[in-house]
Amino acid sequence: MSLSFDFHKKATCSAYLFRDDTDVKYSFDAFNDVVFRLAKKEDFNNISRMSGDFFYDLERSIWKEGVIVFYLNDELIGAGSCQRIRDNMNYYDIGMVVAEKYRNRGIGTFIIIKLKEYCYNNNRIPVCGCWYFNYASKKTLEKAGFITKHRIIRFDF
What are the pLDDT digits (tens) for 38-87? 999 999 999 999 999 999 899 999 999 999 999 998 999 999 999 999 88
Give DSSP secondary structure letters for 9-47: SEEEEEEEEEEE--------GGGTT-EEEE--GGGHHHH
Q: 10-20 and 35-38: which strand pairing?
A: unpaired
Distance CA 68, CA 114 (A): 10
Domain span at residue 12 reads 2-156
Residue 36 is part of a domain; what is its CATH number?
3.40.630.30
pLDDT tens digits, 117-140: 999 999 999 999 999 999 999 999
Which amino acid, residue 51? S
CA distance readout (Å), 94 to 4, 44, 62, 64, 119 = 30, 19, 14, 14, 9
31 or 48: whose pLDDT is higher? 48
Beta strands in the chain (DSSP E): 10-20, 35-38, 67-72, 75-84, 91-98, 125-131, 146-156
Residue 28 confidence (pLDDT) = 67
- Provide the whole-model pTM: 0.86
42: nearest Cα among 72, 73, 76: 76
Overall number of domains in the chain: 1
Which amino acid, residue 81? S
Three-state DSSP class for 95?
A: strand
Residue 66 confidence (pLDDT) = 93
